[in-house]
Amino acid sequence: MDKIKISILGSTGSIGRQALEVIDKLPDKFEIISLTAGSNIELLNEQIKKYKPKYAYCSNPNQIEGAKVLSLDEICSNRDNDIILVAVSGKIGLKPTITAIKNRINIALANKETLVMAGDIVMPLAKEYGVKIIPVDSEHCAIHQCIKDISQVDKLIITASGGPFLKKTVSEMKEATVEQALAHPRWNMGKKITVDSATLMNKGLEVIEAHHLFNMPYDKIEVVVHPQSIVHSAIEYADGSVIAQLGLPSMHIPIQYAITYPERYEGIKSKSFSFAEIARLDFEEPDWNKFKALEMAYEAGKKGGSATVCLNAANEESVFAFLRGEIKLFDIIDLTKKMIREHSVIKSPSLDDIFEIDNEIRIKTREQILLTGSKV
């Protein structure tokens, strides 16, 4: 079989590094065409030395050693690629994804913003160009594995670990430190997504992603808390039959699935799955009162159009402010709520509208943080 020709956008981030670990286990299966990073030039140059991609890009391109520098747009226009793993975080993932789709290159998608901000543009475009979008996010990857015929699916059931504050009271959560919010019990991820997991905003964004990826109305997407993170998500068919995907909580597994799809290899498998060892699986309804971000995300999703752009931008800026110690954990929710309340929704925004609104909301959110700090 020919090698899978792959480019990784965001190769020095959490998902990017784990993707390279997957590739280390399957060296005869992959040829790396390009690697791109943000500002971590040191690690990018190390990766270039080891994996010898033809092309590379980062925010300081003149410091790249050992690969030809191409822009993100050029990297995603290169039809030598069989698949591009979009593992950058933030809105920077959106334009390259669209370029890759227009060049009929399949996408392994680990960037939430692409669908949260522009799902109504990206999914129809992928359909038009016959491009596969294979989700890397463990929940969506699980659903992707469960679905045979989407038209017969009655409900998507997305699991949530509940994050570090599952057993904490609202008042304990109000006083949470950055360190506590970053202490995720199950998953090892980047800082922004870890804070989002602590507020359950991450689950809210995943509901929006699922709506776009599987074309499912919001009232047919359910969230259930499952602290062990063994059941990665499930679907219910019209006849009441439920199919779930299970596995140990490691991002290597969904990454490998997405970049080798539709093949399956042993690759990163570390040990055989044992129900007896796991012994028990618990499930509970999310505490909607404690995790108001979840309801807010559903509401923004149902409003549609630019509402989710606003949600994403206000939340991200607030999370950054929380990480800098400028605001408290619940201020993230209050600030985001305020931005959504004051936002006039545009029903079908163009890409330019989306970037403009994103920018506007970020400025407004930062102004609000400066103005009132912790007292929204």
Q: How far apart are CA 347 and CA 297, in angstroms?
A: 17
Phi, psi of 54 (to 5 degrees): -70, -35
CB of 309 to Mg ion, least distance (A): 20
Determine the residue with CB nearest Mg ion.
Answer: 137
CB of 145 to Mg ion, least distance (A): 14
Footprint on residues 113-172 left by Mg ion (CB under 5 A): 137-139
Residue closer to Mg ion by CB (options 11, 138) is: 138
Contact 83/106 with Cβ under 8 angstroms? Answer: yes
Residue closer to Mg ion by CB (options 229, 368) is: 229
Quick one: tokens of 202? 């991450």
Residue closer to Mg ion by CB (options 90, 305) is: 90
| HSE value, Cβ hemisphere, 13 Å, CA-based, for 352 | 0
- Is the peptide bond between 124 and the residue preceding it cis, with omega within 30 degrees of 0? no
* Number of residues binding to Mg ion, judged by CB under 5 A: 3
| Residues paired with 159 in a beta bridge | 224
CB of 45 to Mg ion, least distance (A): 30
CB of 34 to Mg ion, least distance (A): 26
Contact 210/140 with Cβ under 8 angstroms? Answer: yes
Q: How far apart are CA 155 and CA 243, in angstroms?
A: 11
Phi-psi region of 233 (alpha: psi -120 to 50; beta: other; left: phi over 0): left
Quick one: tokens of 337? 């709520």
Enclosing H/E stretch for 180: helix 178-181
Residue 358 binding Mg ion, by CB under 5 A: no
CB of 81 to Mg ion, least distance (A): 25
CB of 232 to Mg ion, least distance (A): 8
Residue closer to Mg ion by CB (options 76, 294) is: 294
Quick one: tokens of 149? 């015929």
Residue closer to Mg ion by CB (options 96, 204) is: 204
Residue closer to Mg ion by CB (options 113, 139) is: 139
Interface with Mg ion by CB under 5 A: which residues?
Answer: 137-139
